[in-house]
């Protein structure tokens, strides 16, 4: 496996968190009041996490060193961005008039545990210089759970993209492009 330096890992982790923080701050700036600002900060960081997860999902089937590198760098980067999303989400939930359903909260907690476990496992793989078969299986299972979690989270929102300052059809076009591009990218990567 190609060596991954601590500096590369730190850059990816800090970059994921910084990008999510910037996107969340943009969301808070366009809100009309405190609650709307908190909601948009949480929503925008969540959408960024979805895009990062989709990219990681698309890069996943690479073989050899490229696939291992994308996994080892991708999971910690996604985890740092999604932890920033958690901060924005907790801020919004502290202001919101209603709480999410207990089942939804439980699913979210499990998702964060899975994501952090995958990130920690891949940080360990970076130190060890290889990905164990056990971690590879865990990545597939954890990735499957997170895929279901993202789909269940975003499926109800497909009909209402609600991105401030963006025409509604752009939201539909972007989601359609992602839905078409991911399977094509996976197929091309598996063949090559």
The conformation of residue 8, written as its DSSP 8-state character, comes to: H
Ordered per-residue pLDDT tens for the chain, 192 residues: 557 788 888 899 999 999 999 999 999 999 889 999 999 999 899 988 988 888 887 776 566 676 677 778 888 999 999 999 999 999 999 998 888 888 888 989 999 999 999 898 888 887 777 778 888 888 888 888 888 888 777 766 655 655 555 555 565 666 667 667 767 776 676 665
DSSP secondary structure letter of residue 129: T
**DSSP symbols for 41-81:** HHHHHHHHHHHHHHHHHHHTT--HHHHHHHHHHHHHHHHHH
Domain-by-domain residue ranges, the chain?
Answer: 6-191
């Amino acid at each position: 496996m190609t060596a991954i330096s601590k500096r590369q890992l730190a850059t990816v982790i800090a970059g994921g968190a910084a990008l999510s923080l910037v996107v969340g701050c943009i969301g808070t700036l366009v809100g009309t009041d405190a609650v709307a600002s908190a909601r948009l900060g949480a929503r925008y960081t969540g959408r960024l996490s979805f895009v990062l997860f989709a990219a990681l999902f698309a890069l996943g089937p690479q073989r050899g060193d490229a696939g291992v590198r994308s996994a080892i760098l991708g999971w910690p980067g996604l985890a740092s961005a999604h932890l920033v999303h958690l901060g924005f989400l907790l801020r919004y939930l502290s202001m919101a008039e209603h709480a999410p359903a207990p089942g939804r909260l439980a699913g979210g907690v499990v998702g964060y545990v899975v994501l952090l476990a995958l990130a920690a496992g891949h940080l360990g793989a970076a130190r060890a210089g290889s990905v164990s078969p056990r971690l590879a299986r865990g990545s597939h299972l954890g990735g499957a759970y997170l895929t279901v979690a993202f789909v269940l989270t975003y499926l109800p929102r497909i009909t209402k993209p609600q991105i401030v300052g963006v025409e509604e059809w752009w939201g539909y076009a972007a989601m359609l492009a992602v839905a078409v591009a991911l399977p094509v990218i996976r197929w091309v990567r598996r063949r090559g």
